């Protein structure tokens, strides 16, 4: 490895910092990039810079977006009176793939976890309450995971939302206990969304 020139060594070092990429794989990838056409290497580099420079959070749902409002929030055919609360952007994607939901989302950016020092102030809970206070929201579906943290976050939200004039339900049947939405199949998510129950 030390016989490589410094530029190649640096590329290997940077690639090996990616999750799941060991030094051997990083070496293979760097050599592959070296052989690849110039335009491919350039577009890969540009896409990484654009990813970091342009991706931001949607000001409404706090999902990933590259403009003020994400594509879902900006879509007038989505039901704005129905909000599905999820932990992470990947959970939203899992529900979208199921095709069983036509409302909008609210991404908490995590779950309550006292063990990890994550409290209500670290999540987008206040922003959710503000969205509801602005009116036009009739129902909130809580689709946090069925882990201990996901359930306690759902209970916390249900208590907060019970003071507001909004129907609150919890995504339910079929999601395995401890289940992370992004690993659950689409049909199961669709059924769980249809079978949500009041909180």
Can you tell me which of 15, 60, 107, 112 binds Zn ion, judged by CB under 5 A?
60
Q: Is 142 in the site for Zn ion (CB under 5 A)?
A: no
Stretch that binds Zn ion, among 40-48, 54-62, 164-172, 190-198 (CB under 5 A): 54-62
Count of beta carbons in the 10 Å neighbourhood of residue 170? 22
Q: Which of residues 69-98 bind Zn ion (CB under 5 A)?
A: 70, 73
Phi, psi of 5 (to 5 degrees): -70, 155
Whole-number minimum distance, CB 78 to Zn ion, in Å?
10
Stretch that binds Zn ion, among 30-38, 67-75, 88-96, 126-134 (CB under 5 A): 67-75
Q: Is 61 in the site for Zn ion (CB under 5 A)?
A: yes
Residue 106's DSSP bridge partners are 85
Whole-number minimum distance, CB 165 to Zn ion, in Å?
23
Can you tell me which of 11, 12, 26, 58 binds Zn ion, judged by CB under 5 A?
58
Report the relative pairing of strands 56-57 and 197-198 from DSSP bridges: unpaired
CA nearest 107: which of 132, 90, 82, 130? 90
Q: What angle do CA 27, 32, 36 make, to 5 degrees?
A: 150
Calculate the CA 198 to chain-centre distance: 24
Catalog residues that contact Zn ion under the rule CB under 5 A.
58, 60-61, 63, 70, 73
């Amino acid at each position: 490895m030390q016989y490589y020139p410094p530029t190649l060594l640096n590329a290997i070092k940077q690639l090996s910092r990616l999750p799941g990429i060991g030094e051997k794989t990083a070496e293979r990838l760097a050599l592959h990039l070296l052989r690849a056409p110039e335009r491919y290497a350039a577009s890969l580099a540009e896409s990484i810079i654009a990813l970091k420079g342009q991706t931001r959070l949607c000001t409404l749902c706090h999902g990933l977006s590259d403009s003020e409002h994400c594509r879902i929030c900006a879509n007038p055919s989505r039901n704005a009176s129905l909000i599905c609360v999820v932990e992470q952007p990947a959970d939203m994607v899992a529900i979208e793939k199921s095709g069983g939901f036509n409302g909008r989302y609210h991404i908490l950016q995590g779950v309550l976890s006292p063990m990890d020092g994550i409290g209500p102030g670290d999540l987008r809970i206040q922003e959710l309450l503000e969205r509801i206070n602005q009116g036009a929201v009739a129902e909130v579906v809580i689709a946090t995971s069925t882990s201990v943290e996901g359930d306690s976050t759902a209970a916390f939200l249900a208590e907060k939302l019970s003071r507001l004039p909004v129907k609150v339900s919890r995504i339910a049947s079929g999601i395995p206990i401890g289940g992370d939405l992004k690993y659950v199949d689409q049909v199961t998510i669709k059924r769980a969304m249809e079978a949500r129950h009041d909180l």
